[in-house]
Structure 1
Amino acid sequence: MSKVSEIMSPNPQVIGPEDTLQRAARMMQELDVGALPVCNGRQVLGMITDRDIAIRGVAAGLKPDTACVSDIMTRDIKYASESQDSDEVMRMMGDAQIRRLPVMNERKELVGIVSLGDLATRQNHHTDDALRDISEPQRKAA
């Protein structure tokens, strides 16, 4: 059984909360990623995805060259601990229907990102159930 620290992408690039949506999109393009942790130093304040920029930003009428990342980022984020086992993290991702998680150390500092792709390519276990759970249509509250 793999630990998250063995399969995560270490030292992820981050963006600041006052950076513009345009800067976030350019960083994602340059890094070929779909999400960035939003940080103040090593403290994670939230996450922003390419989908956030498109839906919460541009579609809502915000101007990418002036709107801030903090205007649309997800603040209440799930995260993994670097010591968690990969099966537990896969279940957590499936339950929350998310494809990427920041990875924190014991001091709650960002040390990496783990994605469904990392789990699929860097471990021996199957990711079928997690992919099915993540891809299932959003469950609506009654």
Structure 2
Amino acid sequence: MTQHVSDVMTSAPVTVEPQTSVTAVARMMRDENIGAVLVTDGERLRGLVSDRDLVVRAVADGSDPNNTTVADACSDDLVTVGPDDDLSRAVEMMREHAVRRIPVVDQGQHAVGIVSLADLAIERDPESALGDISAARPNT
């Protein structure tokens, strides 16, 4: 049975505008218990920022997180999939581009979800270490 990206993706992803501060995004990630936020400019997907991006591209550089915008920290060379794409396509894209998360966009390039390596591990191999860890309650 073919599975689609929509079967495992996180729907209604958290989005922010490019001018949002790194501090505000970090707080959203903490409060929502998520590791990535999509950056949108109106309806258009502009980028993805992960917790690691915030650390490596903003904090480690010594930038003031209150005055640094998420546009300065996000990945903007995105790989995307559609909700009706086969799940195997998402796996292939993650491997090919060495990414852990892929935005899911509809035909109009509007962000409708995000699929993560953890989502795939829980779905495809729940007994694996990654699947088990990903399904566990957060330790925060």
Q: 1:109 aligns to what?
A: 110
The residue matched to 1:114 in structure 2 has which SS?
strand
CA offsets per residue over residues 75-124 of structure 1, 9 Å max, x none? 111111111100111011011111111100111111001111111223xx
Structure 1 match to 2:83: 82
Q: Which runs of 5+ in 1 are unaligned?
A: 132-142
CA–CA separation in structure 2 for the residues paired with 1:80 and 1:126: 21
TM-score (norm 2): 0.84
- TM-score of the superposition, structure 1-length normalised? 0.83
Partner of 1:118: 119
Structural mapping, 1:1-142, within 5 Å: 1-122=2-123, 125-126=124-125
Structure 1 runs (4+) greater than 4 angstroms displaced: none
* Separation of aligned partners in 1, 2:27 and 2:110: 25
- Counterpart residue type for residue 62 of structure 1: S
Deviation for aligned residue 1:126: 4.8
Identity of aligned residues (%): 33
Structure 2 unmatched runs, 5+: 131-140
> Matched residues in 2 for 1:64 and 1:114: separation?
27
RMSD (Å) for aligned C-alpha atoms: 1.5
